[in-house]
Structure 1
Amino acid sequence: AGIVIILVNLIGGFAIGTMQHDMSLGDAAVTYSLLTVGDGLVAQIPALLVAVAAGTMVTRVGSSDGTSDLGKQITSQLLRDSRALALAAVIMVGLAVVPGFPSLVFLILGACFGAGAYAINRRTARESEFRDIGQTAMAEQAGKPASLSSTPVAALPSSSRIVVRFGTDLGRSVPEPEFATLADGVRRELFGDLGVDVPAIGLQVDEKLSARSMRIDLEGAPILD
């Protein structure tokens, strides 16, 4: 149907331009070809919006903090990583050099997106630096790593479907609070990047394992040894 509409617009435009407006065939071809392309682009905007909305609704997942506001989820995901804004800035600058496009508008948009990407990069770097300093301070204050208990401890307040089991020697060398913090961070990072809600990760010292070995269980079944 789209091809038929394009042909009708072109043929009808050539006829109207040459017969009613006394245009040459070349002028009519240039004018009505541009108008046909513009009409096709405008006609695709509603289809694009519908496709994006349908894809968003079908692929969305619940937030880890229980938030169901789709707008907040989309905003947090777009602003979590600077790559999205950096790519948008590059696209805006590319569109600015296209003939016939409003260069100033696209350059301003590109500058705004680029500034946002830079700000997110700075914020991420500061958070990473503060996190490293905090972990170093906790390790220095602890003096020696705390031994793991024989009872599974969940990294987040939910059931531990995944359990990491350590041997006795290895268990004494792994700080329990640091393990829980790292497991929490990995879960949140996977959820933010892939939308996968990884179950809570528990940890346990298993005397049946060799002293320097570890095993990962899923629903009580070993999956990595």
Structure 2
Amino acid sequence: MPIKEPLALFQKWFEEAQYSDGIHLATSMTLATASKAGRPSSRIVGVKGFDKSGFKIATNKNSRKAKDMDENPFASLMFYWESMNRMVRIDGPVEKLDTKATSDIWKGFPRAAQLTHSASKQDDILPDKSTLVQKKAELTQQYADSTPIPPNPEWCAYNLIPDWWEFYQVVTDLPDRIIFRKPEAGETPDGKALHQGDEGWILERVYP
């Protein structure tokens, strides 16, 4: 494999997915979390950015995913680009981002999305959808002059720091699976089953 560093390979696949006619939202991913008691939950969310420091996730402080990540700071991401027959799984610890980083993510949201997030009291009981519609209409009127919409006070963001990656690709009836991970104590790549990657990663091919 010519690319021996997982973020570089992900960037390549992600860019190809963005330009693929068969993929509507390359940024969509499954975020899986678990409570302190170990009860899992998953949902589709949009990645809010990624770089060497990790993958950015934005949500409401009252959401189940936020509560899970506060109680049990580990999560798993999965990108699935069906028309390309590719999947990427990413596991690692999560950390809460500071106010500035969270605000920067908020500023990158479309204005309509900011209004929706400001109107919503995520995970609270909503007796009638008209209540939400009315609240958004009021906010739309309030900020009709293009005044910047401040972040919802309940808004927050997290960063997942990858420590394990899987790249899965179907090219024939025998899929390829490549794992990137950090070496365990005393583990030395042999160039056969276990290969030395770049930036401290090791990689291995596993059976599909």
Q: TM-score surpassing 0.5? A: no
Bin the TM-score by the shorter chain: under 0.3
Higher normalized helix content (fraction of residues): 1
TM-score by length of 2: 0.18
Larger radius of gyration: 1
Q: Which has the higher contact order (CA 8 A, sep 6+)?
A: 2
Higher normalized strand content (fraction of residues): 2
